[in-house]
Structure 1
Amino acid sequence: MRIRHLTTLAGAVVLTCLLVQVHVLPVMAAADTDTSPVTAVGRLSGVNFDPNKGTLDGSPVDHLPDHIRLLDIQLPDDGAPQRADWSPDGKRLVFLDAPFGDLWEYDLATGASRNLTETSVLHKGVLRAHHLINGDVALCAVTERSADGPEGDRFRGELWVLQRPLGTRAPVRLGESCWEGIAVSKQPGSTRIAWNQSTIDFTKPNVIIEALVGKSKILTGRIVYRNGRPRIADRRIALDKRDVSLDTPAVEAQDFRSLPDGDADSDDELIFSAYFHKGGQAMGVNLDTGAVADHTSWSLFYEEAEGIDPSGRYLMVERDLAITLFPGLVDIWRLPLDGSGTFERMTTFNHYKGFGANNPVVSPDGTQMAFGLKVEGGAEGEGNGILLMDLSR
């Protein structure tokens, strides 16, 4: 471990130089009034390796192939459907209506939508939502917004569970902080989850220092029920950012994967993203041995792990064919988890000026993918509609 950390010291030095260089660039004088460090860095174009990116006029929604369709979801108050997740039976989606929003449910058969948190303590405060295999929903959410720096609240969430019947019971606080996304096992009988805890707030002026010396780790546990109320059991640290390298500012849990290792535990590998490590890597940590695997080790592009195939054969990845400190508008690619590192492009939304595709999740039967339409501007990961792709074609 120590040898590996020493060999990555040069990477940490390079990251420091890059971040300092970006921080002093005169980007703040741009016309855009958002002058946060993340937005400033995001304007750097880097070196682009996709000659077709941003070359088409119009919207990708107006030129969809036959195997992709936009869901007709109408929301009040200019709500925008985003961050979808499949129900265990594949008949419904839950989604948010804003980066800090309410949680909604969409019935694929009827097209009906209903608000699940409008009357709860989490009204307009849900950041992430993922179904447990039993039909309950694990949430990362906030109950109130900060007066000073409210955008940074996305890094200061808490874990909750919304129990069935959804929308009829008050959410239950689990007593754990959560940073960005959470992962939920889709294996039969498992209620294992993973969540992130970090000191890093990418909206703060001291983000350069925090990127180097701040804390970031991934924890796992199981949701168990005592007298009908959920709580976390078997809590443990699965990964620290230092287990990847010294030049990794933050790690984020994404999905669980089963491996043919012969034991009874079906949650063998935790897929995660390592931000800024070689551009941003889709990685995994073996939950039995602690061994870390880089599933895109050859690449310097931004490749963020997202939805996994239920059988564990492949991973959907947000990818930007550019070498830059922060990604631009991304598209969705499929990465087989066979060690080949061979990507298959699933969308070409960012060939249209100001558009991209994000947040892909694969249905429980592996035949469909729900994903988001991204329009330039707004928060990272924000969506402007949900689409379905038929993966059987």
Structure 2
Amino acid sequence: MKKLFALLLLFCFGNLSAQSDRSPMEDLPDYISQLTQFGQRADWSHDGERILFIEKTFGDVFEVEVATGKIIPMTHHFFHEGFVRALYLANGDILLSGAKNFNSEDPWKSRDARNTELWVLKKDLKSAPFALGVHCKEGPAVSRSKMNIAWALGTTIYQGEIDYENGKPKLKNWKPLFTSGDLPSPAKGWDLETQNFNPKNEKELFFYAFGGQFGFQAEVFSYNTEEKKFVNFSKSKGTYDEAEGIFPDGLSMLIESNRHRVNYKGMKEFLTLDLYKMKLDETGDVERITFFNDNPEYKASNGVVSDDGRYMAFQYAHAEDPAGKGRGILILDLQKWEKKKGKR
């Protein structure tokens, strides 16, 4: 399997790397700045002053002050086996995703749904995190205004509420919302990952489904928990559209996509990602925001928008890096981008 993967990478990049040998980090536009030299999977604090991020997959969690660049460790005060997600809860506590056990000889088992669990780390950092007693596939979705969360397990998406009893967080009223078998074609039976609640309508949950030929197609969906209805915003374009951070007005969402590489197929198509802004309406129109993959050896991913809608935090990586890996956190000023995007 490893040899096959290596051959696929060689096929994907062998003829493309000659196009450009210049890293996009050497020529950032003036509306993008680098915040950290390492890290991945950023999440904005509610006041926009700090960003939470993972050091690396199965690593520690850190918080960085945006104004000063000061980095504070959040998980150094207890022993653990590493985390894959860290997200601010509405009350300022932190939702963690990580496995109880880690095997360096077979690391990826600690990322799958059979082993990854959800935990709550209290913001005072005076104790180890509290286990919520459920497993989670990839990233959970966290409400910005309520203590509601949603997560995927297998091909089912669940929702619950975090409550505190004698100061100890626990999960209550949790239940399954739907399975991938409930989705309309072509996504019926595909794998699922939750992403965001609509900040303007908590009954609307955004997620994406991925599958198709070789598993390299992904579609952005919403699910209305009251009306029990799905909306497909990608509309089967045959591309990879992975839902990321939502804009605070609830009208647009960031996605990772390969729409600029529509002629690429298979592994090549999957690895050539940049960040786009997708309208959450009947058009599903998209607008490209980052151009890191103009050099096919790089990509930009995991974009999230500050609560005031002014900034986007994201990560850059090498295109062949595993999904989710980041090599540093960057900030994009969306107001400046709006003014200059037509001049590119």
1:299–1:255 Cα change, 3 Å = same
> How far apart in 1 are the matches of 2:135 and 2:151?
8
Cross-structure match for 1:223 = 162
Deviation at 1:258, TM superposition (A): 4.7
Cross-structure match for 1:377 = 320
Pick the aligned partner of 1:133 from 72, 90, 98. Answer: 90
> How far apart in 2 are the matches of 1:53 and 1:318?
21
Residue pair 2:182, 2:188 contacting (<8 A) in 1 also: no
Cross-structure match for 2:329 = 386
Residue pair 1:54, 1:354 contacting (<8 A) in 2 also: no
Cross-structure match for 1:150 = 107
1:330 partner letter: L
> How far apart in 2 are the matches of 1:232 and 1:44?
47
Residue pair 1:303, 1:317 contacting (<8 A) in 2 also: yes
Cross-structure match for 1:120 = 78
Pick the aligned partner of 2:253 from 296, 302, 315. Answer: 315
> How far apart in 2 are the matches of 1:389 and 1:364?
14
Deviation at 1:328, TM superposition (A): 1.2
> How far apart in 1 are the matches of 2:122 and 2:74?
11
Structure 1 runs, 4 residues or longer, greater than 4 Å off: 39-46
User: What are the equivalent positions in structure 2 for 1:159-178 lying under 5 Å apart?
Assistant: 159-165=118-124, 167-178=125-136
> How far apart in 2 are the matches of 1:137 and 1:374?
25
Cα-to-partner distance string for 1:125-148 (whole Å, 9 max, x where unaligned): 111111011111111111321366
Cross-structure match for 2:33 = 69
Cross-structure match for 1:6 = none
Identity of paired residues, percent? 34
Cα-to-partner distance string for 1:128-183 (whole Å, 9 max, x where unaligned): 11101111111111132136632222112100001112x33211100001111111
> How far apart in 2 are the matches of 1:324 and 1:157?
31
Deviates more, 1:246-255 or 1:154-163: 246-255
Query: Larger % of strand: which?
Result: 2
Cross-structure match for 1:267 = 202
> How far apart in 2 are the matches of 1:54 and 1:99?
30
Once superposed, what is the RMSD of the aligned Cα atoms?
2.3
1:295 partner letter: F
Cross-structure match for 1:193 = 149
Structure 1 unaligned residues grouped into runs of 5+? 1-27, 29-33, 47-51, 75-79, 199-215, 260-265
Pairing 1:254–2:195 present:
yes
> How far apart in 2 are the matches of 1:184 and 1:325?
32
1:268 partner letter: K
> How far apart in 2 are the matches of 1:44 and 1:297?
29
Residue pair 2:219, 2:236 contacting (<8 A) in 1 also: no
Deviation at 1:247, TM superposition (A): 5.1
> How far apart in 1 are the matches of 2:85 and 2:4?
23
Deviates more, 1:250-259 or 1:177-186: 250-259
Deviation at 1:81, TM superposition (A): 1.0
1:116–1:35 Cα change, 3 Å = farther
> How far apart in 2 are the matches of 1:110 and 1:41?
42
Pick the aligned partner of 2:231 from 280, 293, 309. Answer: 293
> How far apart in 2 are the matches of 1:296 and 1:112?
39
SS of alignment partner, residue 320 of structure 2: coil
Deviation at 1:362, TM superposition (A): 0.4
> How far apart in 1 are the matches of 2:210 and 2:135?
20
1:229–1:43 Cα change, 3 Å = farther
Pick the aligned partner of 1:183 from 120, 138, 141. Answer: 141
> How far apart in 2 are the matches of 1:303 and 1:40?
25
Cα-to-partner distance string for 1:92-127 (whole Å, 9 max, x where unaligned): 0110111111000101122110111123233x5111
1:42–1:253 Cα change, 3 Å = farther
Residue pair 2:300, 2:316 contacting (<8 A) in 1 also: yes
1:148–1:374 Cα change, 3 Å = closer
1:224–1:110 Cα change, 3 Å = same
> How far apart in 1 are the matches of 2:4 and 2:106?
10
Cross-structure match for 2:277 = 334
1:251–1:41 Cα change, 3 Å = farther
Structure 2 unaligned residues grouped into runs of 5+? 337-344
Deviation at 1:353, TM superposition (A): 3.6
Residue pair 2:251, 2:281 contacting (<8 A) in 1 also: yes
Deviates more, 1:372-381 or 1:330-339: 372-381
Residue pair 2:40, 2:53 contacting (<8 A) in 1 also: yes
Cα-to-partner distance string for 1:270-322 (whole Å, 9 max, x where unaligned): 10010025821011111112211101104111000000012211000000133
> How far apart in 2 are the matches of 1:305 and 1:93?
20
1:163–1:41 Cα change, 3 Å = farther
Residue pair 2:85, 2:98 contacting (<8 A) in 1 also: yes
